[in-house]
Amino acid sequence: MESRALMATTEIHPKADLGSLRIHDKHRSGGKAGKWIAYATAVLGVAVLGVGATLKFRDQTPIVEVVTATKPEAGGRSAILNASGYVTPRRRATIAAKITGRVTGVFFDEGTHVHEGQLLATLDDSDVKKALETAKANRDSAQAAIADYQVQLKFAEIEMRRAEELHKAAVQSQEQLDSASTNVDSLKAKINLAKQQVLGSEMLIREAQQAVDNCVINAPYDGIVVSKDAQVGEMVSPVSAGGGFTRTGIATIVDMNSNEIEVDVNESYIARVKDRQKVTAILDAYPDWEIPSHVRTVIPTADRQKATVKVRISFDKLDPRILPDMGIKVTFLSDEPVKKADPKAPVVAALLPNEALHDDNGKKIVFLVKNDHLERRAVSVGNTQGSQTEILSGLAAGDSVVVKGPANMQDGQAVEIKK
């Protein structure tokens, strides 16, 4: 009875088949629901990536370049062109050795003031000193030979005179006289040869001494060491060894008295630049310090790639704060001084570069930078002075105004000032 009940139960509840739960390939790929799920997943992934990229770029703060609004002074000169560049010294040299050698001494550091002829470094001179001693020994040997030949010559001349007397007395033959005379001439020739050997040894001594002197590196002019390029124990060579283990220089020295400004001026405006033209320079490191300068020369060639011409500007007075490779902005001034303002004419509040102004529905606006945020400001403009425009209202001298920035600048936007 119990066995029949068990059999009935088994027939009613068959054993579970796990293979029936498997999803066959034709159902996985062929069903419309599966295709829509895969498509929705791909679209969602692309959307997530797009949102992530948007958030990433949104977090980046745009970088802007600013200028300081200036105010013309009565009796001064109006600005006709602006440019930026760097402080560059006319005399800047990497001091190198004339020979290949190992550094045995370095007697300077960065920032050291050096004078012309001052000892900078020494190289290993043991080999060249031995060559010098050998040349001196050869010279001494040749001089000693001369002394020996002179003694022999003195004795040979005595024998020749005796042979002449005996020949006159018909005691000796002509052959003996000729032999004595030949001996004298031979010794004189040997003496002349030894003297030439002495001269050759003197030249070898000078050459060896020059090699010894080449192991000493001195400063070629007064200046400041700005780079220490070799250490004791390193190899130096006037030519590159190619492996990176041999230095080609000992130190880099700059003559601070030769500092000047080098700027690139667009060739479209180069006609506004003349020799000895007055220039106002402002270092990026000292934005409140105006440095009087003047144009030294216009390099008579243009850069085909950048369409610019290089202009070199000299400082009217040098200052220890002016360092090589400092960034600097310059303003070229007109030859004629600014006339006194007409009492009836509007007062010019400031001057701005033309590219700092933007059009907004017929109105002129600028973007100021205050506390690393943009501030949109409407301004009233006057006349144009070269590359600058007169600002009659809405701006004050000394305000920082964006001259280069993104096209979609907005009021209140956080920005970073380009250094």
Beta carbons within 8 Å of 330's beta carbon, 6+ residues apart: 82, 83, 84, 85, 261, 263, 279, 280, 281, 282, 293, 313
Do 155 and 287 fall into the same domain? no
Residue 19 domain-assigned? no
Do 346 and 324 fall into the same domain? no
Mean pLDDT, to the nearest integer, of 96-122? 92
Q: Is the dihedral of CA 69, 72, 77, 79 positive or negative?
A: positive
Do 245 and 262 fall into the same domain? no
Mean pLDDT, to the nearest integer, of 54-64? 64
pLDDT exceeds 50 at position 6: no
Grade residue 334 by pLDDT with cuts at 50, 70 and 90. Answer: confident
Higher pLDDT, 171 or 136: 136
Q: From CA 150, how far away is CA 156, in angstroms rounded?
A: 10
Domain boundary among 254, 279, 310: 254
Task: Give the domain CATH number at 323.
Answer: 2.40.30.170
Do 376 and 250 fall into the same domain? no
pLDDT exceeds 60 at position 294: yes
Mean pLDDT, to the nearest integer, of 381-394? 77
pLDDT exceeds 80 at position 95: yes
The phi and psi torsions of 209 (rounded to 5 degrees) equal -65, -35
Mean pLDDT, to the nearest integer, of 54-63? 61
Do 100 and 249 fall into the same domain? yes
Q: Which domain holds residue 389?
A: 63-68+341-417
254, 293, 294, 403 from 270: Cα distances, Å: 30, 18, 15, 21
Domain boundary among 318, 337, 356: 337
Do 142 and 183 fall into the same domain? yes
Do 332 and 264 fall into the same domain? yes
In percent, the amount of the chain with pLDDT more than 70 equals 78
Residue 20 domain-assigned? no
pLDDT exceeds 80 at position 55: no
Predicted local distance difference test score (pLDDT) of residue 174: 85
Do 198 and 313 fall into the same domain? no
Predicted local distance difference test score (pLDDT) of residue 339: 53
Closest C-alpha among 319, 405, 410, 351 to residue 63:
405
Mean pLDDT, to the nearest integer, of 301-327? 93
pLDDT exceeds 70 at position 244: no
In percent, the amount of the chain with pLDDT more than 90 equals 33
Grade residue 45 by pLDDT with cuts at 50, 70 and 90. Answer: low
Counting every residue, how long is the chain?
Answer: 419
pLDDT exceeds 80 at position 202: yes
Predicted local distance difference test score (pLDDT) of residue 75: 46
Task: Give the domain CATH number at 192.
Answer: 1.20.120
> How many domains are contained in the chain?
4
Do 270 and 242 fall into the same domain? no
Residue 230 domain-assigned? yes
Q: From CA 285, how far away is CA 327, in angstroms rounded?
A: 8
Task: Give the domain CATH number at 114.
Answer: 2.40.50.100
> pLDDT by residue (tens digit) across 254-277?
999 999 999 999 998 899 899 999
Residue 357 domain-assigned? yes
Grade residue 337 by pLDDT with cuts at 50, 70 and 90. Answer: low
**Interior/surface letters 334-349, b for 16+ CB within 10 angstroms, e for the rest:** beeebeeeeeeeeebb
Do 248 and 378 fall into the same domain? no
Grade residue 52 by pLDDT with cuts at 50, 70 and 90. Answer: low
Mean pLDDT, to the nearest integer, of 337-357? 65
Task: Give the domain CATH number at 412.
Answer: 2.40.420.20
Predicted local distance difference test score (pLDDT) of residue 161: 86
> pLDDT by residue (tens digit) across 12-39?
444 445 455 555 555 554 455 555 665 6
Cβ–Cβ < 8 Å for 177, 156:
no
Higher pLDDT, 279 or 52: 279
Cβ–Cβ < 8 Å for 368, 406:
no
Grade residue 42 by pLDDT with cuts at 50, 70 and 90. Answer: low
Do 269 and 332 fall into the same domain? yes
Beta carbons within 8 Å of 366's beta carbon, 6+ residues apart: 352, 356, 357, 358, 377, 379, 394, 395, 401, 402
> pLDDT by residue (tens digit) across 140-185?
888 888 888 888 888 888 888 888 888 787 777 888 888 888 988 8
Do 249 and 367 fall into the same domain? no
- Amino acid sitting at position 187: L
Domain boundary among 158, 189, 213: 213
Lowest-confidence range among 92-106, 294-308, 371-385? 371-385
Residue 13 domain-assigned? no
pTM, two decimal places: 0.55
> pLDDT by residue (tens digit) across 160-170?
888 888 878 77
Mean pLDDT, to the nearest integer, of 363-379? 89
Q: From CA 378, how far away is CA 171, in angstroms rounded?
A: 132
User: Tokens at residue 210, please?
Assistant: 């020059």
- Amino acid sitting at position 412: G
Predicted local distance difference test score (pLDDT) of residue 34: 53
